[in-house]
Amino acid sequence: MENIGALSILLAFCFAIYAVIGSVAGKVKKNAFLVVSAERAVYSVWILLSIASGLLIYSLIIGDFRLGYVAAHTDATMPAIYKFTAWWGGQEGSLLLWAWILSTYSAVVVFMNRRKFRDMMPWVTAVLMSTETFFLILISFVLSPFSVLIAGRGNIVEGMGRGLNPLLQYWTMVIHPPMLYLGYVGFTVPFAFAMGSLITKQPGESWIHTTRRWTIVTWLFQSTGILLGQGWAYAVLGWGGYWAWDPVENASLLPWITATAFLHSVMMQEKKGMMKVWNMVLISATFFLCIFGTFLTRSGVVSSVHAFAQSSIGTYFVTFLAIGLAATIYLILDRLPYLKSEARLESVVSRESSFMFNNLILLASCFAVLWGTLFPVISEAVTGEKISVDAPFFNRINIPIAFGLMLLTGIGPLIAWRRSSMESLRRAFLWPSVAGLALMAVLAVFGVYEHPYALVSFGLCMFVTTTVLSEFWKGASAIRAKSGTGLIPAAVELTHRNTRRYGGYMVHMGIVFMFIGYTGAAFNKDVTKEVAPGQSFEVGPYTIRAADVQATENDNYASQKLIAEISRGGKSLGTLEPEHRFYKSSQQPTSEVAIRRRLNEDLYINFAGPSSDNKRAVVQAYVFPLVSWIWIGFWVLAMGTLVCLIPSKIRLSYARTQVVGVAQKHATVEK
Amino acid sequence: MNTYVKFGAIVVAVIGVLAWLAVGGTNESKSYFKTISELKQMGDQAQVKRVRVDGFVQAGSIVRNGSEVSFVIHQDPNKRAQDNMTLKIVYRGIDPLPDTFKDDAQALADGKLGPDGVFQASKIQAKCASKYEAKPQLKKDSSQAGI
C-alpha cells in the first residue's frame, strides 16, 4: 500500500517536471501539441497526488502503525476525525497536503483557461509546476509520508501510536491548517499570472483582471486561517491570549499584509495606470513570503512553540527562494520599459496619495514584523549574540501603524482622485471627525482617559464607521428618491450595483469591529485564587462560588471538573464548568476553560488543577471586555469579501490612455 | 513645493518615527539566547541582561508551591543522568504554565539570573518532548507508546 503511495508521488514528480519542460519548450518552439500535453500533465499530477493523499488518509484511519507517520501522529483511541486531520499534523503529511492543494489549484487554473490567454498560459503552467516540483522533491526524496518503521533486522515492529497532542484536538484546529494552506498555496496563482504577463510583455491589466478573484478568495482563506488560530488560542491555551507575535504566527501574517497592500494598490493600476512595477513587486513579495513562511515554520531556524520537527529541510527552501527571487528580480528589471506609469501624483491630498500611504505603512509593518521575527538570526550573524525581541517591540510599532491605517481607511474612500479641495475635505470629513472626537470626549469622562491608546482607537473606529455609514446613506437615499423603495432595499440595490466598493466598505467595518475587540484588552481583569469547595471570590462585577469538583474518566483522558456558580449583583447567572484533563497516551495535561461570552465582555474561568495540598482548587478567572467583537468582526469581513466577489450589476468602464509599448500592436480600451 | 517633495518629506517623517519606535521597542524587550554553559560563563552580566535559556526539564524536579514553580533544566538530552550542566529555575508569574510543561519537556525560560545562582524566570515556554525529533531516526522500541 505504502509502495503505491510512494510511487504515486514519484510519478507526480516526473509529470510535474514534464509539465514545466513541455510548457516552456512548446511555447519557445511554437509547438501547440507540446503545450497541451503539458497542461494535461497537470491533471495527471493532480490524479496521482489524490491517490497518494487518499492512501495516506486510509492508512491513518485504519491505524496502519507500520508507517512511521501514522505511528507518530495517531493512536488507536483517537476519534476518527482527528485521525483524518493527522494528514496535516506532521511534517511529511502537511507537505503532501500542500502539494495536493497546489495541484488542485493548478488543475483548476489550467481548466478554466483552456481557451483563454493562450500566449500566457504556458508560462503560468511552468511557474505553477516549478513550485509543485520543488514540493514534490521534498516528499519524494527527503521526507516521505510513506516511510516504514524498521526495528531490528528487517522486522517491522508495530506500536500503538503516539497520538495527537490533545491541545490540537479541537474543531478550530481541524480547519485552521487547511485554511492557511488554501491561503498560502493560493497566492502562487496570481504570482504565476504576473510572471506570465511579464515574460510575454503584456501591458499589464489582463493578469490583474484574471487574478482579482483568485487573490481575493486566497486572501479570505488566509484571513480565516489566521483568525481561527486566534480563536483557538483564546479558547484553548488557558489565559485568553490570542496573539503572541510568535515566529510562526508572524509567518502567516507577513504575506497577508503584502496581499492586503496589493489588493489596494491594484486599484491604482486599474483606474490610473499607476504603480505597475510596485504591483509586480508586491505580488512577488507575497508569493515568496508564503514560501518563506513555510520555511520558517518547518526549519526551526527561529525557535517557536509551534515549530515542527527540526530537519535539514531548510537548505532546500533557501535554495528554492534564492533561485526564484533571482529569476523574478531579473524579470522585473528587464521588463521595466513595459511597466511605465501612465499618470503622475498631482497632490498629496488625493486618493492616489492615500493609497500610497496605505501601502507605505502596511509594508513598514511587514518589514518590522519580519525584522523582529528574524532578529535572532540577524543579530547572531552581525554580533555573534543571539538576541530575540518580544511582544513590546511588535506592539510599539504596530499600534501606531494600525492607527494610521484606520485613519486612512476613513479618509481614502471619501477623498477625490487627483486632488481634493479644502471645501470637499471639509464636507466629507467634518461629521466623521466630530463624531470621533465626541466619542473620545465622552469615553474620557467615563474614565477611559487612563488608557490613551484605547481612547484614540475608539475615536478612529467611530471616525471610520461614520464615513462608511455616510457613504451607504448618500447612495441609498439617492436610489430611494428615484425609485421610492425603502432604505434597506435601496442599500441592497446600491451594493449590488457596485459590489466591489460596498463589499469593500463591509470588509472595512469588519476590521473596525476587530479593532474594537483588540482594544478591549486594555481593560482586562484577572484574579487567581485557591478556593475550597463552597468558597467564593470576586473578579470584576462577578462573584464566583466553587460549588463542587467532579472526577470522570474515559479511554482518552481522566478529568476533574469544577462546578462554578456565577452571580452578579446577587443575581445568579448559571454555572460554568471548566475541566482539568490528563490525556493518557500522550501523558499531557490540558485545561478546558469555560467561557461566558457576551457582546460587552467575556467571563473566562480556567481550572488549573488541585492545590499542592489537594484540598483546594486553583482557579483563574478573567474578564475580557469586548473580545467577542474580534470574532464578530471576522464574520463581517468574510461576508464583505463574499459580497466583493459577486459580479456588479453595472460594469464600470474607465476610458484611459494606454501606453503603447514595443510589443503592443494596438491600444486596448478598458472593459 | 513640488508634490513629490512634499510626499517624500511625509514618507521620511513616517519612517523616521517608526524607526525610532523600533529602536525603543528593541531595547525594551530584547533578551539574549544562551545555553546553560554560556549563561554560567556570563558572570555578573547575567544578572543585568535579560536572557533566554532553554534546556530539558529534569524528571521529578518540578515543585509547585502555590503560585511559585521551581524546576531544574539540563542541557544535553542524551546525558540526562550524568549531566552537570544544570540550572535551577523559579517562576512566579501570573500566566499559567503551558500545558506541555512536564518532565523531560523542552523548556525555554526568559528572565535573569539571580545573585544566588537560581534563574528568576518571568516567562516560560515549553515544547512537548515527544514532538522533538533531531532527525528522522530508527525507532529503538516503537511499542513504547506515548512518551
Q: Which helix (H) or strand (E) holds A221?
A: helix A205-236
How far apart are the C-alpha atoms of A9 and A140, rounded to whole Å? 6
Whether residue A375 and residue B26 make contact (CB cut-off 8 A), yes or no, is: yes
Question: Is residue B14 domain-resident?
Answer: no
ipTM of the complex as predicted: 0.76
Confidence grade of residue B144 (pLDDT, cut at 50, 70, 90)? very low
Contact partners, residue A455, CB within 8 Å, separation at least 6:
A440, A443, A444, A448, A449
What's the whole-number average pLDDT of chain A?
88
Q: Is the pLDDT of residue B137 over 50?
A: no
Whether residue B146 and residue A400 make contact (CB cut-off 8 A), yes or no, is: no
Strand partners, A522: none
Confidence grade of residue A161 (pLDDT, cut at 50, 70, 90)? low
Residue with cell 513562511: A293
Q: What angle do CA A146, A149, A155 make, to 5 degrees?
A: 130
Q: What angle do CA A26, A29, A33 make, to 5 degrees?
A: 40
Comparing CA positions, the residue from A178, A29, A19 lying closest to residue A106 is A19
Q: Please check whether residue A548 touches B, CB under 8 A.
A: no
Phi, psi angles (nearest 5°) of residue B105? -75, 155
Q: Name which of B131, B140, B143 is nearest A165 (Cβ-Cβ).
A: B131
- The whole-angstrom distance between B44's CA and the closest CA on chain A is 17
Q: Please check whether residue A437 touches B, CB under 8 A.
A: no
Comparing CA positions, the residue from A225, A247, A128 lying closest to residue A181 is A225
Sign for the pseudo-dihedral over CA of B18, B24, B26, B28: negative
Residue of B nearest to A352 (CA): B7
Residue with cell 509539465: A19
Q: Is the pLDDT of residue A653 over 70?
A: no
Phi, psi angles (nearest 5°) of residue A531? -120, 140
Under a CB-based contact definition with an 8 Å cutoff, are residues A591 and A605 in contact? no
pLDDT tens digit sequence for A187-237: 999 999 999 999 998 866 778 887 888 999 999 999 999 999 999 889 888
Question: Is residue B140 domain-resident?
Answer: no
Q: Please check whether residue B26 touches A, CB under 8 A.
A: yes
* Domain extent at residue B109: 31-130
Under a CB-based contact definition with an 8 Å cutoff, are residues A73 and A59 in contact? no
**β-strand A617-625 against A525-531: which pairing, if any?**
antiparallel
Comparing CA positions, the residue from A221, A283, A254 lying closest to residue A637 is A221
- Residues of chain B positioned with their CB less than 8 A from the CB of A402: none
Q: Please check whether residue A393 touches B, CB under 8 A.
A: yes
Q: Which three cell numbers stand for residue A628?
A: 467577542
How far apart are the C-alpha atoms of A299 and A289, rounded to whole Å? 15
Q: Is the pLDDT of residue A432 over 90?
A: yes
- The whole-angstrom distance between A320's CA and the closest CA on chain B is 21
Give the CA distances from residue A413 to residues A431, A569, A634, A653, in Å, rounded to whole numbers and listed in that order. 15, 46, 21, 19
Q: Name which of B10, B131, B143 is nearest A159 (Cβ-Cβ).
A: B143
Q: Please check whether residue A556 touches B, CB under 8 A.
A: no
How far apart are the C-alpha atoms of B106 and B112, rounded to whole Å? 19
Q: Please check whether residue A663 touches B, CB under 8 A.
A: no
pLDDT tens digit sequence for A462-488: 999 999 999 999 999 999 998 888 889
Q: Please check whether residue B24 touches A, CB under 8 A.
A: yes
Q: Where are the domains of chain A?
A: 1-169, 524-625
Whether residue B98 and residue A305 make contact (CB cut-off 8 A), yes or no, is: yes
Average pLDDT over residues A104-133: 94
Q: What angle do CA A464, A466, A471 make, to 5 degrees?
A: 100
In A, residues 358-387, which contact B (CB 8 Å cutoff)?
A: 360-361, 364, 368, 371, 375-376, 385-387
DSSP code per residue over A344-364: ----SSSHHHHHHHHHHHHHH
Please tell me what DSSP assigns to residue A89: T
Q: Which CATH architecture has domain A524-625?
A: Sandwich (2.60)
Strand partners, A619: A529, A607
Phi, psi angles (nearest 5°) of residue A574? 95, -165
How far apart are the C-alpha atoms of A193 and B116, rounded to whole Å? 62
How many beta-carbon pairs below 8 A join chains A and B? 173
How far apart are the C-alpha atoms of A120 and A201, rounded to whole Å? 10
Query: A668 versus A112: which is more confidently predicted?
Result: A112
- Looking at residue B78, its pLDDT comes to 65
Report the CATH number that the domain containing residue B82 is assigned in CATH. Answer: 2.40.50.140
Confidence grade of residue A151 (pLDDT, cut at 50, 70, 90)? low
Residue of A nearest to B124 (CA): A305
Strand partners, A539: A542
Query: With helix as H, strand as E and coil as C, how does A629-669 read?
Result: HHHHHHHHHHHHHHHHHCCCCCCCCCCCCCCCCCCCCCCCC
How far apart are the C-alpha atoms of A449 and A446, rounded to whole Å? 8
Give the CA distances from residue A194 to residues A19, A119, A337, in Å, rounded to whole numbers and listed in that order. 19, 13, 16
In B, residues 74-103, which contact A (CB 8 Å cutoff)?
A: 94-96, 98-100, 102
Contact partners, residue A80, CB within 8 Å, separation at least 6:
A61
Residue of B nearest to A307 (CA): B127
Q: Which three cell numbers stand for residue A80?
A: 476518527
Question: Is residue B143 domain-resident?
Answer: no
Residue of A nearest to B63 (CA): A612
* Mutation site for A-interface testing, chosen from B29, B102, B122 by largest number of A Cβ within 10 Å: B29
DSSP code per residue over A377-413: HHHHHHHSSEEE--HHHHHHHHHHHHHHHHHHHHHGG
Q: What is the pTM of this model?
A: 0.88
Average pLDDT over residues A411-438: 89
* Mutation site for A-interface testing, chosen from B18, B35, B137 by largest number of A Cβ within 10 Å: B18
Residue with cell 476610458: A655
Residue of B nearest to A386 (CA): B33
Whether residue B133 and residue A385 make contact (CB cut-off 8 A), yes or no, is: no
pLDDT tens digit sequence for A35-64: 999 999 999 999 999 999 999 999 999 988
Tally of domains in chain B: 1
Three-state DSSP at B109 gives: strand
Three-state DSSP at A576 gives: strand
